[in-house]
Amino acid sequence: MYQPMLEIFSKRLRKIVLDRTILEKQKLIVPSIRLRQTEDTLEKLRNSSLCAGVINARDEFEDIDLVFQNRQINVLKRRKDANVQSYYLRVGDELIRCTLDSVKVHYVHNWIIQAKFNRYIPGRPNLIYLPLKLQHNYENKFINKGADIALKYEGLWVYSYNDEYPAALEVNPTTATPARGYKLGELANLLPDGIELHEKHKKELHNHVIEIGITKDIELEKELEYLEFKKKMKSGEVTYAEDEFVEEDVFESGDEETPEEKAAKEALKAAREAKKAKMREESKKNPKSLKKQVAQMNFKVKEGFLAATEEKPKKGGGSSE
């Protein structure tokens, strides 16, 4: 169905806005109704279309209990990057810069119980949760060939010291391969200045942020190698008894085994058993582990002691001649 050009451009513009990783620079002011009093119970606030709010204590600052309008908190919840964007809460004549920590909602009636905010102080460590976004490019040959790519982390907890910080962290999969993905330590080295990982992620530096699956070309190469191997086996160019590193699943296929394949399989099995027996004999003669060496020494000492006791004449005994 034909779509007007204006609708197409509006969808593209919306996608660009949603995909960007830059926060809005305009000052977002959220006015509070008043400071919360002892008579402001949750039921009373709910009947007045109000909700409770609190600015969590930090360093030398104490908790501040506030009262907000329900629609204000609902608008904040629906905003893009709601938990990353910083807001300025008006408390009397003072503006306090904060980030939205969480909004507690009643699990049955779905009304707001409390909204929590954290102070954001530039120059000090501010804990925020930054989501991860995959950067789309055409430089990774595995992705271009149709390999599956998986993002293992939805976001990371970081400390921000800056006045301005990104809305999300972009992950570039250019250097990722199926054998070696993109690790968290590599992403930590590319973080912007003034942003560092939280302590909980310090033990996860070797974990993969991105994993790339095997492409169809690699699967096809393995299948071709198997067919070529099978062809050489039928022609007699390869003897499996001499090859000690052939996997047993090489013989597994949907076709019925020929007498040559059965003979090759039995020969391979016999060669492996002979090799294992030889290794066991060598390990008994020359054990590598310390435990086996000590056991062998104890056995030799025991044999020498038994031989010495057998050579001694019995008490009261003598020659009958």
For the domain that residue 84 is a member of, what is the CATH number? 2.40.240.10
Sheet holding 112-119, edge to edge: 29-31, 86-91, 94-105, 112-119, 50-55, 64-69, 34-35
Q: What is the pLDDT of residues 190-229, one digit of tens each?
A: 898 999 999 999 889 999 998 888 777 777 777 777 777 7
Domain identity same for 204 and 138:
yes
Domain identity same for 34 and 102:
yes
**Residue 237 CB contacts under 8 Å (≥ 6 apart), including other chains:** none
- What mean pLDDT, rounded, does the chain reach? 81
Dihedral class, residue 16 (left if φ above 0, else alpha if ψ from -120 to 50, else beta): alpha
Residue 9 lies in a domain: no
Its domain, for residue 200, covers 127-214
Choose the final residue of a domain: 214, 242, 257. 214
Residue 79 lies in a domain: yes
Reported pTM: 0.60
Q: How confident is the model at residue 237 (pLDDT cuts 50, 70, 90)?
A: low
What span, in angstroms and rounded, lies between the C-alpha atoms of 136 and 171?
A: 9
Q: What is the pLDDT of residues 267-312, one digit of tens each?
A: 878 888 888 888 777 777 776 666 677 777 777 787 777 777 776 5
Count Cβ atoms below 10 Å from residue 21 Cβ, excluding itself.
15
Residue 136 lies in a domain: yes
What span, in angstroms and rounded, lies between the C-alpha atoms of 104 and 114?
A: 5
What span, in angstroms and rounded, lies between the C-alpha atoms of 159 and 124?
A: 9
Residue 237 lies in a domain: yes
Q: What is the pLDDT of residues 91-108, one digit of tens each?
A: 988 999 999 999 999 988
Domain identity same for 109 and 194:
no
pLDDT score, position 17: 64
Q: Do residues 233 and 261 make contact, with C-beta atoms less than 8 angstroms apart?
A: yes
Domain identity same for 24 and 117:
yes
Indicate if the pLDDT at residue 249 is higher than 70: no
pLDDT score, position 1: 47
Number of domains in the chain: 3
Helices 259-285 and 216-235 cross at an angle (nearest 10°) of 100
Q: What is the pLDDT of residues 21-54, one digit of tens each?
A: 667 777 889 999 999 999 999 999 999 999 999 9
Tell how far CA 181 is from the center of its chain.
Answer: 11
